[in-house]
Structure 1
């Protein structure tokens, strides 16, 4: 009987060691799975943030209501497009008129201007990037209504600012028909 008992003790010790080895193996496998899950979660979060940043588009007109002729002034003034129709990503600020790039990428901008003809004053607007003029829309008629437009695709760095400026001695007119608009969108991240 003692021989059988000794054999059972050896067999139990062997089973215990085998179980301990399996538990250690399972613990190591669990750590690997947890590590992979954390990596996957971080990757998903990064892709989600990147996807949110990829959604940048705005479109605004000059006036929210009423009608007005803006200008002429004896100096350049920054135009503020207050009637925001779309502002996905909130990169356009309707209080300053500034679009600020949230991510390095290629952006496309379009602007349309209009105003009544005048013998001495043209209708004009200049797209400005970080204080430097890029493209202008310009039309000078002595009577009637004049329209002009322009657009540009720019590579912007994070924090670059784009806005429209009314050049000195020019003017534009806007009303409920929203003839003066400024729009932009992110084409792709660089």
Structure 2
């Protein structure tokens, strides 16, 4: 549970930084969220369906997690038999760990736009199935993935229904990524401005 909440809070911190520094992206998210009649929903299942079907929110979250994967340590695997892959021999008991940053920032996988730019729409194009792997892949990917995505989306919806996220004087200064248990910023300095709805 601690791992689940800590990684979600880190993803939320990165999301608020992106929103503070990309007002056009924030405008699109607010527009999509405002189109839903949240007070008219009658069941929790309806809420889940509504949240999971917000298409711009989905690609926004995917792009945040592409650019700022929370951890790289969860992808470590041990080879259980010697195998030849594309002419490379991987011995039994070898430890395998993909370089997620190289994958997530590979221009061949994420072009033609510069992978260093935040562009949610890049997720509308069909990509290699393992080009995006913030939760790992295969049968041993993160068991909390669906919970984490739902929690992150609900937090963003609640936040953006009430506030606009603005940069502060220290926004760039605090956003220095450090790797501890997870990879996250030292601090995120933003301003919240109450929306008049």
Please tell me the TM-score bracket, short chain as reference. Answer: under 0.3
Name whichever structure is richer in strand by fraction: 1
With normalisation by structure 2, the TM-score equals: 0.22
Richer in helix (by share): 2
The normalised TM-score by structure 1 is 0.22
